[in-house]
Amino acid sequence: GAVVSQHPSRVICKSGTSVKIECRSLDFQATTMFWYRQFPKKSLMLMATSNEGSKATYEQGVEKDKFLINHASLTLSTLTVTSAHPEDSSFYICSAAPSGSSYNEQFFGPGTRLTVL
Amino acid sequence: GENVEQHPSTLSVQEGDSAVIKCTYSDSASNYFPWYKQELGKGPQLIIDIRSNVGEKKDQRIAVTLNKTAKHFSLHITETQPEDSAVYFCAAKAQGGSEKLVFGKGTKLTVNP
């Protein structure tokens, strides 16, 4: 149980294009999902908290117009990197927190490697 | 806000030995402390967690201890195996309010056969 998937696992795009990454909770519902960015050999940097049916909450320094987040259902959140540039190249990881759980677990997806040429 | 410090940043042990990774946190309101294992190119995997109402939790070769007074918690891996080699992250979350976790910087564990 508690499986989170991400799609695609890898994407290479040209500078200036937009890329959409999907995060799905496969066997549970998740009112809240999180998007992280991870640089090589570094810890996870929280970008935003995504709540189903409402606007995402972005961390300080994260451009909400560049990293568009949509959480339209209890099992799906998407991150769209708009007008991508080489500096957006990174490993993007989502996590999901089971709805209604009295615990606080977050389960992570396998990550998406974005390379912007 | 919460700040989590993790030590050591790298740890090398011989197969069969024990490994200990330590974390400290700053916010006394934190009440949930998970540990994640991340293998190269993959997402973090929750391996064990502890809540502030207990001092120790064990799952086979893995155990976590929590000292609320000192605000530190530790991961203990016994009888290490080469497949335990990975980066381990500790995290902390405060009660109420935001659901977000605050992570340590990670420990790269290498288990030598």
Q: What is the DSSP string of chain A?
A: ---EEEE-SEEEE-TT--EEEEEEESSS--SEEEEEEE-TT--EEEEEEEETTS--EEPTT--TTTEEEEEEETTEEEEEE-S--GGG-EEEEEEEE-TT-SS---EE---EEEEE-
Of the two residues A40 and B11, the one the predictor is more confident about is: B11
pLDDT over threshold 70, residue B11: yes
Q: Which residue of A has its CA nearest to B30?
A: A104
Mean pLDDT of the region A85-97 = 96
Q: B-chain residues within 8 Å CB-CB of A57?
A: 98
Which of B51, B101, B106 has the CB atom closest to A106's CB atom?
A: B101
pLDDT of B2: 85
CB-based contact A77:A46 (threshold 8 Å): no
pLDDT of A99: 86
pLDDT over threshold 80, residue A37: yes
Which of A57, A97, A108 has the CB atom closest to B44's CB atom?
A: A108
- Contacting B residues, span 13-52, partner chain A, CB-CB under 8 Å: 32, 34, 36, 41-46, 49, 51
Mean pLDDT of the region A53-71 = 93
Residue with tokens 């420990």: B107
Which amino acid is it at B57? K
B7 contacts: CB under 8 Å, gap ≥ 6: B21, B22, B23, B107
Q: Is A104 on the interface with B (CB under 8 A)?
A: yes
Q: Is B103 on the interface with A (CB under 8 A)?
A: yes
Task: Please judge whether A105 and B106 are an interchain contact, meaning their C-beta atoms are less than 8 angstroms apart.
Answer: no
Mean pLDDT of the region A19-40 = 94
Mean pLDDT of the region A18-36 = 94
Sort strands B62-67 and B56-59 into parallel, antiparallel or unpaired. antiparallel
Q: Tell me the pLDDT tens digit for each residue of B19-59.
A: 999 999 999 889 899 999 999 999 999 999 999 888 999 99
pLDDT over threshold 90, residue A54: no
Task: Convert A5-17 to b/e letters by CB count within 10 Å (16 or more is b).
Answer: ebeeeebebeeee
Which of A43, A49, A93 has the CB atom closest to B43's CB atom?
A: A93
Size of the A and B interface in Cβ pairs below 8 Å:
53
Q: How sure is the predictor about B96, in pLDDT bands with cuts at 50, 70 and 90?
A: low
Residue with tokens 């209604």: A100
How far is the C-alpha of B23 from the C-alpha of B107, rounded, in Å?
10
Q: B-chain residues within 8 Å CB-CB of A43?
A: 89, 103-106
pLDDT of B95: 66
CB-based contact B20:B74 (threshold 8 Å): yes
